[in-house]
Structure 1
């Protein structure tokens, strides 16, 4: 029997809605939408959700609620990540959401976030028997997972997301070389446990999940005068081409970046520091190709729900 479900991913930068119909170890996407809410804007490094950010979030969730009602879906799974889990006023905010929409927000920790991202990447068929380093660059946090198609060897979430790095290091546009150097020094000190894990498990592949990696894929394909197929969930970006794109992003100002084919406005600011992060990680993982998974956390939730549908268990997460 097929069952419908809605998944809401309340990311620090972007809110995602995914409406699906599930059954027999597969799912059909009924509708999906992403909106640049920027819930962490202005307050993320002070661990507070500012009034204007909350207003945008509530407006977006009301919009999502109307779409969910239109599909007659009563199973709604709502997740909040870095910006909300670290906010001093998170409970007040989630109470407002419950009162306005009826959505009970599941504030997940970094370990759970990494686990769901892994399950989403696995569902995209990006993994094989080789050991891979997976990364998801959010606005508030970045999750790193080392594993293969069978299991996770190591995972950790770091509060070094795009909005945090943007607020802390990207003061000039284009970003200054000294700002990039400060960012690299910061990453060197913050990611010690990751570098130790890379030495231990020796991943030979680098996989990026959704978000920034979708946009990098779009820019690469646009340079070849191609479009990304909706039927393909795993794309390959040669490292040489990524480095060329990243160097351009770092060199150009915002208006110039917006003119790059494949760029979208919601990514134009954070993609600079995100590209710096990827370049830095590539110093530790030698691979000829960057693998870009279009699936991430929300699809990881769907993967868990499908397991329960197949086993006849009531769907819950």
Structure 2
């Protein structure tokens, strides 16, 4: 067995599929490559909770590409996990067979709690202070994870049934952006968050970090606006600016990349609800997420097996 093997972590999210290739080192790991593809799996989830053929085909195409990359990198260990959309899909077993055939490796459909734990681990693994109280937010395509902990240890882990793809389709599907639509989207998100608010506020936090595409999109907006912090006021200004622009096709004027525009309002509405319900002052961009959490888990398992 190589002393410093390559490992691969694959995250089949409801919006994007991610592949991370890393090499184990004496101090942890070094990232060799990252690959991401917008699959928008949650777009294909019908009202009867079957995933349609178009979404499945997009997933198969992406995983066939990932299989070629895995063949090039030749990792010693691979772990692939699927999240909210496959948790929900009633035809998940059929989908799994096709996805596993395309990828050439087993896929685990993980619970919301497991997903939240991996996200927290990935987001906090490089913390300078191991006793810092943290709140980690991850707005996925079909679920949102909210995790409070101390240092690298999560204490409160929740996976909420809302996500940027689902909210975009429900409130902004035709591409029109209005104050009333944002208000409805925020209100529905708040109904899921509000019953948990006191639990998180009792735990408390020193720092809040965001570990998903919504926060990277806001980072783009920050740079465009030449602002410094992802504050509550800045989140409100982004919402007001989106309403002023009035349509999704104009959101590039906020500095957003093309691949972030399609579900931006859905994610922003959820973040606005989180910010208001939990009284969040500022949010930092997390340095890791679920796939980094997978890498840390694999390295820990390898270390125990060698002990």
Q: Same fold (TM over 0.5)?
A: yes
SS at match of 1:62: helix
Q: Does residue 240 of structure 1 match 2:240?
A: no
Residue 125 of structure 2 corresponds to which residue in structure 1?
123
1:139/1:162 contact within 8 Å kept: yes
**Cα deviation, residue 296, structure 1:** 0.4
Partner residue in 1 for 2:288: 295
After the TM superposition, which residues 1-317 of structure 1 pair with which residues of structure 2 at under 5 Å, given as runs? 1-43=3-45, 45-125=47-127, 129-224=131-226, 237-252=230-245, 253-261=247-255, 263-313=256-306
CA contact (8 A) 2:190 2:274 kept: no
- Check 1:80–1:272 CA distance in 2 against 1; reply closer, same or farther (3 A cut): same
Distance 1:286 1:188 in 2: 12
* Alignment RMSD (CA, Å): 2.3
Q: Does the 8 Å contact 2:193/2:274 carry over to 1? A: no
- Mind listing any 5+ residue stretches in structure 1 that lack a counterpart? 226-234
Q: Provide Cα deviations, 1:117-176, integer angstroms capped at 9, x if missing partner.
A: 000011243875343321100001000101121422211101101111122222453322
1:9–1:224 distance in 2 versus 1, CA, 3 Å: same
Deviates more, 1:114-123 or 1:192-201: 192-201
Between structures 1 and 2, the one with greater helix share: 2
Does the aligned pair in 1 maintain the 2:166–2:266 contact within 8 Å?
Answer: no
- With over 3 angstroms needed to count, the CA separation of the structure-2 counterparts of 1:250 and 1:136, relative to structure 1, is farther
The 1:288–1:88 alpha-carbon spacing in structure 2 relative to 1, beyond 3 Å, is: closer
SS in 2 for 1:175: coil
* Match of residue 229 from structure 1: none
Alignment deviations for residues 188-237 of structure 1 (CA, whole Å, 9 cap, x no partner): 32224421312422334322113111121122124339xxxxxxxxx953
Query: How far has the Cα of 1:306 moved from its partner?
Result: 2.0
Please give the alpha-carbon distance, in whole angstroms, between the structure 2 residues aligned to 1:243 and 1:179.
15
The DSSP-based 3-state class of the residue aligned with 1:191 is helix
Task: Indicate if the aligned counterparts of 1:23 and 1:310 stay in contact, CA closer than 8 A.
Answer: no
Checking the alignment, whether the CA contact within 8 Å between 1:25 and 1:307 is kept in structure 2 is no
With the length of structure 1 as denominator, give the TM-score of the two structures. 0.88
Aligned length: 304
Q: 1:287 to 1:110 in 2, by over 3 A?
A: closer
TM-score using structure 2 length = 0.90
The residue aligned with 1:231 is: none
Inter-partner Cα distance in structure 2 for 1:106 and 1:158: 20
Q: Secondary structure at the match of 1:283?
A: helix
Shift of 1:14: 0.3
**Compared CA separation, residues 126 and 248, structure 1 to 2 (3 A):** farther
